[in-house]
């Protein structure tokens, strides 16, 4: 099969790999229908995160179950499934608490499972899925989704689940005022999640016309292009002299975290899903003085998918709109370039 391999900074290749087979009785093999490039895939691509050896890459995919291990009873060949961005067991205390990203048997696509077997990356034609019953979510009644549905289902792997996580962490709910910092796919999904959870006012911080358009389509009531103190002043002005009840931080830099933190009203909530980099921090004393709560981290996508899936299937949300580019898998190197150069918001790859 063909699969995307990262060899080092800027060096993405699509290569031949052995077609995966069931290794363990709890495995299934999924034939990939669609995968995509994540903002976090750009860290090794940009050399921010080292690549020590050529590695299969990609952690967001949907597809059809092809073969199943002997212990698999809740999935069958032909089932259409969504893969969350990590493998989880569904039975450890962390999974039972809904925090599947802290699973005792956590494993990542392109890494190794608990027993030391290699796991395929998501940006390929097929993937062996360990702990398949607890990891995958079956999409009932679907065998071949149309393009729009395919795109929306794929967002549940990561970005829509992550936007939802940010919104929950920021305590978004009916009547709340919301600011979303970050206009990447996750930030845009954060806008959609906030709208879905009933926010009254949603201010999207964005400087790019294409992203602003999607934010508005997703439910943003206002766009603020200013940053820093000017951005905070604009938020305050829009909200009648006060700051926001809920702020979603969807970038992870020092600047974006400061922007987010200073947009929250006293006693408000900050939800952060941007991986903290470049000195991003939330000083404890500032939190104490303002009574601002902060929560976030990697989204337990597996926990959220069933609820979000229902709304996708009902047509209530259409998060797939974040994909502005579709390319064949063979063009993965160009997909990375397009995302790196911010020519694309998010690229969907068809195997």
Q: Where does this chain touch a second copy (CB under 8 A) — which range of 60-68, 207-215, 217-225, 278-286?
A: 278-286
Residue 213 or residue 282: which is nearer to a second copy going by CB?
Answer: 282
63: β partners: 32, 81
Q: Cβ 297 to a second copy, closest distance in Å?
A: 4
Residue 74 or residue 291: which is nearer to a second copy going by CB?
Answer: 291
What size, in residues, is the chain?
351
Q: Is 278 in the site for a second copy (CB under 8 A)?
A: no
Q: Is 242 in the site for a second copy (CB under 8 A)?
A: yes
Angle, nearest 10°, between helix axes 209-218 and 185-196?
20
Judge contact between 269 and 170, C-beta under 8 A.
yes
How, if at all, do strands 55-56 and 2-8 pair? antiparallel
Instruction: Give the count of beta carbons closer than 10 Å to the beta carbon of residue 193.
Output: 33
Q: Scan residues 113-172 and list those touching a second copy (CB under 8 A).
A: 169
Judge contact between 169 and 269, C-beta under 8 A.
yes
Q: Is 21 in the site for a second copy (CB under 8 A)?
A: no
- Of 44, 130, 276, 351, the one binding a second copy by CB under 8 A: 276
Helices (H), the chain: 42-46, 93-96, 132-135, 147-155, 159-169, 185-196, 209-218, 228-238, 254-261, 284-290, 301-313, 332-340
What number of chain residues touch a second copy (CB under 8 A)?
Answer: 38
Q: Cβ 24 to a second copy, closest distance in Å?
A: 25
Binding letters toward a second copy, positions 81-120, x by CB under 8 A: ------------xx--xxx-xx------------------
Q: Which element (helix H / strand E) includes 186?
A: helix 185-196
Residue 278 tokens, joined:
């470049």
CA angle 181–183–189, rounded 5-degree value: 95
Q: Is 298 in the site for a second copy (CB under 8 A)?
A: yes
Q: Cβ 145 to a second copy, closest distance in Å?
A: 31
Binding letters toward a second copy, positions 243-262, x by CB under 8 A: --x-----------x-----
List interacting residues with a second copy (CB under 8 A): 93-94, 97-99, 101-102, 169, 241-242, 245, 257, 265-267, 269, 272, 275-276, 280-285, 287-298, 300
């Amino acid at each position: 099969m063909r699969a995307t391999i990262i060899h080092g900074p800027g060096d993405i290749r699509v290569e031949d790999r052995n077609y995966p087979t069931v290794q363990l009785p709890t495995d299934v093999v999924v034939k990939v229908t669609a995968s995509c490039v994540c903002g976090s895939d750009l860290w090794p691509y940009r050399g921010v995160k080292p690549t020590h050896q050529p590695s299969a890459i990609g952690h967001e995919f949907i597809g059809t179950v092809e073969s199943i291990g002997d212990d698999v009873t809740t999935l069958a060949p032909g089932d259409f499934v969504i893969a969350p961005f990590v493998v989880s067991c569904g039975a450890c205390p962390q999974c039972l608490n809904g925090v599947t990203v802290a699973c005792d048997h956590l494993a990542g696509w392109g890494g190794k499972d608990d027993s030391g077997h290699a796991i395929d990356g998501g940006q390929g034609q097929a993937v062996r899925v360990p702990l398949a019953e607890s990891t995958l979510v079956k999409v009932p009644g679907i065998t071949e989704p149309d393009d729009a549905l395919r795109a929306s289902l794929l967002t549940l792997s990561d970005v829509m689940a992550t936007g939802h996580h940010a919104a929950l962490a920021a305590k978004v709910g009916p009547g709340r005022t919301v600011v979303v910092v970050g206009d990447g796919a996750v930030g845009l999904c954060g806008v959609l999640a906030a709208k879905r959870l009933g926010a009254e006012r949603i201010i999207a911080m964005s400087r790019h016309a294409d992203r602003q358009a999607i934010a508005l389509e997703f439910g943003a009531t206002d766009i603020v292009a200013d940053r820093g103190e000017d951005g905070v002043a604009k938020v305050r002005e829009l909200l009648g002299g006060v700051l926001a009840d809920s702020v979603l931080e969807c970038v992870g830099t020092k600047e974006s975290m400061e922007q987010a933190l200073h947009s929250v009203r006293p006693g408000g909530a900050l939800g952060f899903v941007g991986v903290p980099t470049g000195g991003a921090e939330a000083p404890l004393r500032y939190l104490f003085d303002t009574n601002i709560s902060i929560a976030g981290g990697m989204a337990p996508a597996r926990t959220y998918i069933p609820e979000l899936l229902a709304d996708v299937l009902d047509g209530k949300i259409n998060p797939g709109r974040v994909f502005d580019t579709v390319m064949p898998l063979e063009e993965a190197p160009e997909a990375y370039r397009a995302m790196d150069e911010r020519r694309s918001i998010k690229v969907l790859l068809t195997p």
